Amino acid sequence: MAQLSTDMSGFVTALVPTLSRSLAEEFNVFRVMHHGTHEKQLSNVFAWLLATDATHALGDAFQRIFLERINAELPADKQLPSTGYRVAQEVDTRGDEEAAGGQAGMDIADLLLSREDAAVVVENYATTDGHGHDYNRYLAHAVGPGRAAAVVLLCHRRETHRQQYGWEQAVVVTYAEVLGDLHAYVNRDPSWRQRHREQLFFIQQMIDHFVEGPAAVNLDDQISFIKAMCETGESARYGYRPQDRAAQEFADLIAEHARRQLEDSRRTLAAVKAGLRSFAQTTLTEQVNETVESGPVTKVEARLAGKWEWCVAMRRADTQPTILLVFGPTAVVENERTPVVVSDPDYSRVFVTLRTAGQQGFVRIVQTGVSLGEVINGLSQNDHRLRDAVLAVASGS
């Protein structure tokens, strides 16, 4: 296959609107349940599927599916029994002496499948990364006299470069692999599908989210995707073979580049915040206080977190409302909360909004002409654009 280009900046940026529409339009219970990178809820679901007496009414089908995938990665003399396992969650893998002596902190495995002659210790994580867990401890916990064992990384995606410190020896099983097998299994059993519609819906939601991904969007968005591929020099990928491999490599490349862009853009937001805070603490405070008759700025803070992180607050005396300088993600939040929104916002600009004392909401928001790039590069002491916006919001004009 031809060498794939790694210059993806223009393509990822062009693609975001189409992908965001696809994600926004799809309801899925697992998107609703999502919590962080390591999904505790997903470990619960896999434990449910692996338990032979659970309410899914599939018996040991998923155990067999899971063990078949594991055995496919093991040598012939290390094969494990395909069923008959007890299932436990959140198991401390330390040995008795290690735990009693306090020599090491708890090292919790997400799942443990065990029977007298075999055991499987499972770490469930978004990617193939031991993320601080001890592979050798996991393996030692699983093995025993006459007992075969395996350590498994159950993950959303393979990233082999993250497998270090022993984890390169782990068996890797992806959500797509085992859920794809489960999908094929239930499709071959119309009687089960008919009698267990609720379970079928739940499993189908899981498959849709972790195997098939967002469904294709409308024709216009598909054409927009093709246009972006052509305009950014990526259209040659349509000719690569084998197609499945080409699609997976492309998806992995986009995911890695999108991750890097998100990290870099967060650093850019932090630089904007630092520049805006510095300007507000000195020049802007002086400009405002020279003009207002009451409620001078007494303090500038930038301590909010979460969706309000990208904000600089200008506290005022005389119980006057606080003025907020917001940008980026926080500007999106505040524009949605304000009664009179900016109808065509440009989120490359700084916004000014007013918090009325004693109220939860914001009564007014104004988009300024100051760009985020200008803030990073430094605003002049003679630049009055933010001052004028602050005064306009404060006066209600």
* Integer Cα distance of 64 and 69 in angstroms: 9
CATH number of 27-212: 3.40.1350
Contact 276, 350 (CB under 8 A): yes
Q: Is 54 helix (H, G, I), strand (E, B) or coil?
A: coil
Q: What is the rounded CA–CA span in Å between residue 101 and residue 81?
A: 34
pTM of the model: 0.53
pLDDT tens-digit profile of 200-224?
Answer: 999 988 888 777 655 545 566 677 7
Walk across the sheet containing 108-115 and list its strands. Answer: 86-92, 108-115, 118-127, 148-157, 171-174
* 34-84 confidence digits (pLDDT tens): 655 446 778 899 999 999 999 999 999 999 999 999 999 999 999 999 999
Q: Cα dihedral sign for 368, 373, 376, 379?
A: negative
Query: Do you find a cis peptide bond into 242, omega within 30 degrees of 0?
Result: yes
Write down the pLDDT at residue 1.
39
Task: Decide if 128 contacts 226 (C-beta within 8 A).
Answer: no
Each residue's pLDDT tens digit, 274-290: 999 999 998 899 998 88
Query: Residues 136-194: pLDDT tens digits?
Result: 999 999 887 788 999 999 988 888 888 888 899 999 999 989 999 999 999 999 999 99
CB 375 within 8 Å of CB 368: no
User: What's the CA gap between 159 and 128, in Å, rounded?
Assistant: 6
Alpha carbon distance 211, 69 (integer Å): 16
Tokens of 88: 């436990």
Residue 297: strand pairing partners: 316
Buried b (16+ CB within 10 A) or exposed e, 133-145: bbbebbbbbbeee
More confident site: 338 or 45: 45
Instruction: Sketch the domain layout of the chain as residue ranges.
Output: 27-212, 267-395
Encoded tokens for 155: 């993950």
| Residues whose CB is less than 8 angstroms from the CB of residue 392 and which lie 6 or more positions away in sequence, other chains included | 352, 366
- Main-chain dihedrals φ then ψ at residue 101, nearest 5 degrees: -85, -5
Backbone phi, psi, residue 315, to 5°: -80, 145
